[in-house]
Structure 1
Amino acid sequence: MQKTLVIFKPDCMAQRHVGDVLSRFEHAGFSVIGCKMIRLTSALLRDHYAHVADKPFYPEIENFMSSRPVIVAALAGEGIVQKVRDLLGPTDSRKAAKGTIRGDFGTDMMVNVVHASDSEENGKTEIARFFKADEIFAE
């Protein structure tokens, strides 16, 4: 059973789409194995976005992602990493088809509803970044 991390981004929270998005994940057969609301700190964001933290656009990402509390969730399911990414659509919401989460609710490259792990390895790393071991539950 694969695991992945999703972050319901500030735009998802502000527009009250969490229930709709989570419902799509559940209807796809995925299980929620961890879930909590947090405020992302600068240190946590720098760690999470280390691959772009030195880029000129990074401060905009940090400002956006820390603008309000978010919900982080660990999900489990067969082939979940790719299936979640397929449900989301492309990172740039302007290129996402209607019927995908980003196509239905997103705005652009950053204001795109949900972050999702891009590989099984990153899913494990990201879940460990946001959850203690006793905050993850098996079915």
Structure 2
Amino acid sequence: MVKDEYTLVLVKPDGVKTRHIGEIITRIERKGYKIEALKMIQPTEELLRQHYADKVDKPFFPELLEYMTEGPIVGIVVSGTNVIKAIHNMAGATNPVEAEWGTIRGDYGREWPDGNLRNIVHTSDEPSSATKEIKIWFPEFEFTQG
């Protein structure tokens, strides 16, 4: 029997600014997944360094940090069977120009003249990263076996 799992969705500053929070939540709920936790967060450099620990030494990290601190984000913990893969697929390709229509990034993302990659959402890509990321953004969240 496959058990439910948890994943993290972050509606990034561009997704909040362009008012796509409700549409993203609606897509998640229409697929039958459960919203376990939801909050608006002003990301700090400390939280972003934890979240993007594997990218801190990359040359693009300062731009990523600038982008992710442009405004608030909305953090969402979602649960369901195979939810990590499903939500990751629902988000679409990282680059919005390459994302398929019908995905969140394909429908709402785009390139901007400043060169920063603004792609609306972050989604966890595997169980270990989902657990780690949920603990960063939702330290108060209690995982239950379901």
Among 3, 6, 9, which residue is 1:3 paired with?
Answer: 6
Residue 136 (structure 1) shift = 4.8
Residue 137 (structure 1) shift = 7.8
Q: Which residue of 2 aligns with 1:70?
A: 73
- Please, which runs of 5 or more residues in structure 1 have no aligned partner? none
Partners of 1:33 and 1:136 within 8 A in 2: no
Q: In 1, distance between residues paired with 2:32 and 2:94?
A: 22
Partners of 1:4 and 1:80 within 8 A in 2: yes
Q: Cα RMSD between the aligned structures?
A: 1.6
Residues 37-52 of structure 1 mapped to structure 2, 5 A cutoff: 37-52=40-55
Q: Which letter maps to 1:80?
A: V
- Please, which runs of 5 or more residues in structure 2 have no aligned partner? none
Q: In 2, distance between residues paired with 1:125 and 1:55?
A: 20
TM-score (norm 2): 0.89
Q: Which residue of 1 aligns with 2:137?
A: 130
Q: Which residue of 2 aligns with 1:82?
A: 85
Residue 97 (structure 1) shift = 1.1
Q: Which letter maps to 1:121?
A: S
Q: By percentage of residues, which structure has more helix?
A: 1
Residue 116 (structure 1) shift = 0.4
Question: Which consecutive aligned stretches of 4+ in structure 1 deviate over 3 angstroms post-superposition?
Answer: 135-139
Q: Which residue of 2 aligns with 1:53?
A: 56
Q: Which letter maps to 2:57?
A: D
Q: Which residue of 1 aligns with 2:101?
A: 98
- Is 2:34 the partner of 1:34? no
Q: In 1, distance between residues paired with 2:130 and 2:49?
A: 17
SS at match of 1:34: strand
SS at match of 1:83: helix
Sequence identity, in percent?
36
Q: Which letter maps to 2:126?
A: S
